[in-house]
Structure 1
């Protein structure tokens, strides 16, 4: 005990304890980072070498011209990204961008619109496997988190509360989408698969924030998806567009309804009995 007490008073005891504490904190953070905050893509571990090799070939042909041969990204002379780096984006980002047809882009612009995919599901899987092999990132979601049909009414209500709190400012309360600054927009969610909605939440494409598992759990992500699908299944009451809210319906009523009444009143005024008498 006396020896231990003596060594504790050694001048180097403080720095050594501090160093050990920093190492322990770094190890704990690495575990949390890899498990919850930025999980290594499970696809990188389970994908075969054949898939990775095939994905690399597809990447060099269709993606390297913008993102670089090693996915390191390409900078323009103005200092912006011609194609951003893809190391660490994970398989989920590739599956979302390529699976929804946003990549490859038809032309450069403020935002990549959704269109018919250029690659097959197998080719998309191979591209995702290759990018996932370059660095850890969000994985393609497990099937159990995409079964929104299994959500209870309470789950749908919980998902709706989260969606209305965090998503309606851009996507509208029913996922109808909306305009954003600088020519960007929040896309409509009608017709988007559960997998792609989940991947959008985990990867944060373009101006969308990232909702990793530390912010919203996989179960709550499923609840959000269940709410979006439940709203889409509701009858479309209201104006021509349905479910787009009172402002759009009000504009439709004002322009078409009131405008029609004004035109009808003008027609009556020009074709009434007194007008005919004046002409005769």
Structure 2
């Protein structure tokens, strides 16, 4: 025991502990650096994309969202919204805004796909957020439209109508129709929650469920109406209005014909 105690007090013990500490710290730093490097290599955006996106952002978006995307009185902060939010808003023409109003309206996009992705790359560099879904996320070859229809009716139909025809909300807002919307934009809307729409994260609707919903929307869009004219797929309200208007027109025409006969 005495010999062991003497070895513990050896003058080189402190140096050995210091070397062990340095080796351990260096090892942890190397692991962390490797992880960060791998993450950077897996990023779909290059430094050039971010730089070009920043130029486009400053020229077209900074007036409302701030020079660094921090937000202003007229536009919210974009830090942490992710590339998917930018790709949806700019790709559908909702941004830049045409005019102030209850909500941004869809219009022809002002930027091509490359420019849109460059702006998305810049905003993604400001803070972590939902990424633009890739081909694997949008693959609906094994999707179940039946399950997608059930998920849509439970989570989406109260605003977008059971057939995705859209509907009115409060204070001048509305849920847009979903016919003709690209699959990537449908997916991005679910993961970013644009405007009045809630966010449907993977805990609420799984990635497979999102694919099923997209497959359902594609199915009803490509399936013709078995009853003839669908009248906007707005249900009994539009159908009743059509019947009432047509019936009233027939009655007026018949009345005019009768009066002309009696004279």
Equivalent residue runs for 1:70-109 within 5 Å = 70-75=68-73, 82-109=74-101
Q: Are 2:100 and 1:113 equivalent residues in the alignment?
A: no
| Aligned equivalent of 2:171 | 182
Change (3 A) 1:151 1:260: farther
150, 159, 164: which one pairs with 2:153?
Answer: 164
Equivalent residue runs for 1:11-50 within 5 Å = 45-50=43-48
Counterparts of 1:265 and 1:68 in 2: how far apart (Å)? Answer: 64
Uncovered stretches (5+) of structure 1, i.e. residues with no partner: 1-40, 76-81
Q: Deviations over 1:142-169 (max 9, x none)?
A: 2122122x145xx111110010011111
| Aligned equivalent of 1:36 | none
Contact 2:166 2:177 in 1 (8 A): yes
Q: Are 2:212 and 1:214 equivalent residues in the alignment?
A: no
Change (3 A) 1:140 1:43: farther
Count of matched residue pairs:
224
Q: TM-score, with normalisation over the residues of structure 2? A: 0.81
Contact 2:149 2:216 in 1 (8 A): yes
228, 249, 257: which one pairs with 2:239?
Answer: 249
- Taking only aligned residues, the RMSD between alpha carbons, in angstroms, comes to 1.8
Q: Are 2:50 and 1:52 equivalent residues in the alignment?
A: yes
Q: Deviations over 1:179-225 (max 9, x none)?
A: 10010000011110000000000000011000011211111101001
| Aligned equivalent of 2:66 | 68
Q: Deviations over 1:85-138 (max 9, x none)?
A: 000000000000000000000111111111110111110010000000111000
Structure 2 SS opposite 1:146: coil
Counterparts of 1:179 and 1:190 in 2: how far apart (Å)? Answer: 16
Q: Name the larger-Rg structure.
A: 2
Change (3 A) 1:109 1:242: closer
Counterparts of 2:208 and 2:68 in 1: how far apart (Å)? Answer: 35
